[in-house]
A and B are shown apart, each in its own frame.
Chain A
């Protein structure tokens, strides 16, 4: 069978923040632009668009990925979660409260990517050390806070979740 000819645009279907969605996507469009322009999810922040700053980090099939380094057409069949979906589900309420309480954001541009990165870290490590937190967020640039407050927020969230778990 001859292989399917390469296309400049494809119809794709995927799960976005818990809902099944369909659209057409130009091959050259990266996932970050698709999420922002087609679905209005402007919590996906675009900073550098070459994988360095981490502001566009989203969950794809449960794992943190750079939306600027995935083609939109590659989302076909995947499950994508953005900060909007994580917020609406209430899943990161404690983390967001901790960011607020600790002043872990000033301009907020890096925050969605930081939160998504922290979601993955906290799903894997119950008691991450400050070093481990720093390592996990090393691919997310923040130009305001100096990172200490972000490490604080993630660390206190982990601690609070442990206490909550122990109490239950």
Chain B
């Protein structure tokens, strides 16, 4: 189908973009990569009257490291996040997750900031940000504020973004030298939305793991940090961790997959990811 009628602005600065969003209020929507937004326009699932295109706003893309923090500009394309030298060296979890995001043509255009703002519960970046204890940097008309990933994702397509605010960056602390990570995702087809996905980080302690963070996606209305399962894993109890998931996840009901099936798949990938992290591995799927 074709998109409904709307007006389009392409501001050349962040202040201009914020002023446009403020001036047009709820009728205006920021346009980042557009790989979800333009889809919803074409399907007429959304009909904003003004699109504020962020693609010409300078300073919103690129990956930089300042001290112990890697800053990823909101308009950095999925692919560019995954192939960035700093990401490959410091945040290999993101590099491993990137190829699971949709397909090459989508990864070339979609952005990490757009993915944050959309907060689709079955997508990779939000869960990775939870696992890595990232901070989402937001700019509104008056101030910049920082929200921990744990507080940012609030429900189905719901985030801490206030009206008129946009995501400007994601800041990720550089993992400790003894950090390990794991990533796995099961989908019906390559590039399809995850039936069950897991982004995990931990630190090695003797033969076991500590500081375990298990961020599941596709298994609730938002990405979920499974704390009890993480505690069980730290205690060396994988079975207990798998059992704990029943209370921590709330898999969606859909015509193709029963919630019980998704929960089972979550346990399967937890087993795989935990095994790899315990091997000292830092493996993606």
Mark A residues whose CB is within 8 Å of B.
Answer: 1-8, 10, 27-30, 33, 49-51, 54, 57, 63-66, 68-71, 73-74, 76, 117, 120-121, 134-136, 138-140
Contact = CB atoms under 8 A, between A and B. Distances in A.
A80 B51 CA distance: 22
Nearest to B102: A139
Closest 8 interchain pairs by CB?
A139-B103, A6-B7, A27-B8, A138-B190, A6-B9, A3-B16, A63-B108, A64-B105
15 contacts: A3-B17, A3-B19, A4-B16, A6-B24, A27-B8, A29-B2, A49-B1, A51-B106, A66-B35, A69-B34, A69-B106, A71-B8, A73-B53, A121-B104, A138-B190
B2 A28 contact: yes
B109 A139 contact: no
A50 B39 contact: yes
B4 interface: yes
Contacts of A138: 103, 189-191
- Is chain B's binding surface mostly helix, strand, loop or mixed? mixed
Interface of B: 1-11, 16-17, 19-20, 23-24, 28, 31, 34-35, 38-39, 41-43, 50-53, 55, 99, 102-106, 108-109, 189-191
Contacts, number: 119
B63 to A, nearest CB: 18
B35 A6 contact: no
Contacts of B31: 71
A50 B40 CA distance: 8
